[in-house]
A and B are shown apart, each in its own frame.
Chain A
Amino acid sequence: VTSRPTLRSASGRAPRPAHGLRWLAGLACTLVTAVPAWAHGTLPGINQFYNGVLHPLLAPAHLLSLLALALLAGQQGLRPRPWEIIGLGAGMAAGALAAAAAGDPDTDRWLWIATLATGLGVALARPLPRPARALLGAAIGVAVGLGSADTALHGAQRIATLLGSTLGAMIFIAYAALALDALLRRWSAPAPRIGLRVVASWLVACAMLMLALALKKGG
């Protein structure tokens, strides 16, 4: 009768684990503690469409420009027409369609400039003509649309990303502008309007600094 090899030695002490097992444990430790790589800021586990939806909220230049535009739309009023949002939608569509042909450029500098201009518009709090409001929206839309895809994306993935970005940006600005418009209509005291201008001046400050940094890095 052959007995199973025991793990214990004659002295009753456990033998030292084999070198191979230690290497295996070390390798397992290394593998399980590794952080997943996040190329191009995408979130693992969600597909390209949802990555696109989140892109305007996760890319700082996109987010701040959209926020500045939402402040402007809320301050100028959404009635009779939300010209900024209409301009943004048209601009995003144009930018998304032209992105591949333009080689998916990095539009962050343009977005910082647009944030600067839009934020100044809010801080000055002067009524703007409709074409100027629509043009600001369109300019930001084109820049966001052009900068939302990646050269590595093709076919259905590319379309899904750009559709998602357009939808995400439109949802964000619609919610933010509607909330501001409602707040300013319901609250007649000057405090919210002053708060809006103060926040806009902060956006202008951030955009100016980021633009300076981008220009410095770009040479």
Chain B
Amino acid sequence: MLPDLLMKLDRRGLTVFTLLVACAGTACAHAGAETLAGGFASGFLHPVLGWDHVIAMVAVGLWGAFLGVPALWLLPVVFPTVMAFGGALGVAGVPLPGVETGIALSAVVLGAMIMLAARPPLWVAAFIVGAFAIFHGHAHGTELPQAANALAFSAGFVIATGLLHLGGIAFGLLVRWPAGRLAVRVAGAGIGLAGLGFLTGRL
């Protein structure tokens, strides 16, 4: 197309065309695409676009809010840290059996804990959350070596995870009121049911 256009231009047109091309800046429609599309955005969207990840991470925040301080912030600190360990296993290519089952099961268990208003000791809650975080991390970690920018990908999915926890915490703060407490427990039941759906392959 461009050679045809050049053929049709006279000398003046050609001069103007060359000058315009010389003055034009480079196209930035996808500025930093190698960093964002294959990096931060991919990492950020990875947990957000997977409903099994979303409900489990929101459940962590919900349960933390339900248990109160210090679980309120301790669980969202434990989850990404242990999740990164699972991610490292995924990066290293260490096989982890039943990753998808573990992710679905995390929603079932965490949802049940919220629904039943379970209040185990803090270390037990941290252990449960941490154990399931390994499965979530492994799923993310296996995609990390393919990312155009591994650090941006990591930062993206870690931040997205944190924001999902924050969403759960925000909703979980409703437990201060009786109606809110009921709403949180109903949400926990919904998360558990969705987890069952993922576990049985219905969702």
Query: Which residues from chain A sit less than 8 Å from chain B, CB to CB?
Result: 7, 14-17, 21-22, 25-26, 28-29, 32-33, 35, 60, 64, 120, 123, 190, 194, 197-198, 201-202, 204-206, 208-213, 215-216
Contact with A along B81-115 (1 / 0, CB 8 A): 10111011101110000000000000000000000
Q: How far is the CA of A204 from the CA of B79 in the complex (A)?
A: 11
Task: Name the segment of B117-125, B151-159, B194-202 touching the other chain.
Answer: B151-159
B144 at the interface (CB under 8 A from A): yes
A206 B14 Cβ-Cβ under 8 A: no
A35 B91 Cβ-Cβ under 8 A: no
The binding surface of chain B is classed by DSSP as helix
B6 at the interface (CB under 8 A from A): yes
A212 B11 Cβ-Cβ under 8 A: no
A208 B88 Cβ-Cβ under 8 A: yes
Q: How far is the CA of A44 from the CA of B35 in the complex (A)?
A: 20
A211 / chain B contacts, CB cutoff of 8 Å: 88
Q: How large is the interface on B (under 10, 10 to 19, 20 to 34, 35 or more residues)?
A: 35 or more
The binding surface of chain A is classed by DSSP as helix
A22 B77 Cβ-Cβ under 8 A: no
Contact residue among B3, B7, B85 (Cβ-Cβ distance under 8 Å from A16) = B7
Q: List 20 A-B contacts (CB under 8 A).
A: A14-B10, A14-B11, A15-B10, A17-B6, A21-B11, A22-B7, A22-B14, A25-B17, A197-B73, A198-B73, A201-B76, A201-B77, A204-B80, A205-B83, A206-B84, A210-B151, A212-B88, A212-B89, A212-B141, A216-B91
B84 A204 Cβ-Cβ under 8 A: yes
The 8 closest A-B pairs by CB, nearest first: A205-B84, A212-B88, A14-B10, A208-B84, A212-B91, A201-B77, A209-B154, A205-B80
A194 B17 Cβ-Cβ under 8 A: no
Contact residue among B10, B14, B87 (Cβ-Cβ distance under 8 Å from A205) = B87
Contact with A along B132-163 (1 / 0, CB 8 A): 00000000010011000011001100110010
Q: Which of B20-69 contact A (CB under 8 A)?
A: 21-22, 26, 69
Given A25-B18, A35-B26, A198-B162, do A208 and B85 touch, yes or no (CB 8 Å)?
yes
A213 / chain B contacts, CB cutoff of 8 Å: 91, 144-145, 150
B6 A28 Cβ-Cβ under 8 A: no
Q: How far is the CA of A202 from the CA of B44 in the complex (A)?
A: 13
Which chain B residue shows the least CB distance to A32?
A: B22
Q: How far is the CA of A14 from the CA of B7 in the complex (A)?
A: 11
B17 / chain A contacts, CB cutoff of 8 Å: 25
